[in-house]
Amino acid sequence: MMGLMWYLMGMATTGAIWGYAALRRRYRLGSGANLALFCTFVLAWLCVGWSWGSFAEGEPQSGAMGLICFGLSTLVAAALSWRHLIQPGKRS
């Protein structure tokens, strides 16, 4: 079960790198946008790893806490970074 988690997290990391490359081609990203995107990725990776690991170990309350704390923080960080740092930038 944990091997599947690491495989899927590796695939998600590859997809995130491809998505970042596509976003960088379309928008001019400054250092603040790059930092916000990196922090959003780290929060999402932590959310998946914490929650999946907790559910796999039979601790559903810890998994739910990870989804709420890290997952909600990921959504907020992604929305704020898009709205305030990426979208106002000029298109390349």
- Distance, in Å, from the CA atom of 34 to the CA atom of 57, rounded to the nearest integer, reads 34
What is the structure's pLDDT at 92? 55
**pTM of this structure:** 0.84
pLDDT digits (tens, 9 = 90+) for 9-46: 999 999 999 999 999 999 988 999 999 999 999 999 99
Residue with tokens 């990725």: 41
- Kindly state the average pLDDT of the residues 2-13: 91
The confidence band for 2, taking pLDDT boundaries of 50, 70 and 90, is confident
DSSP output for 12-81? HHHHHHHHHHHHHHHB---HHHHHHHHHHHHHHHHHHHHHHHHHHTT-HHHHHHHIIIIIHHHHHHHHHH
- Distance, in Å, from the CA atom of 41 to the CA atom of 77, rounded to the nearest integer, reads 9
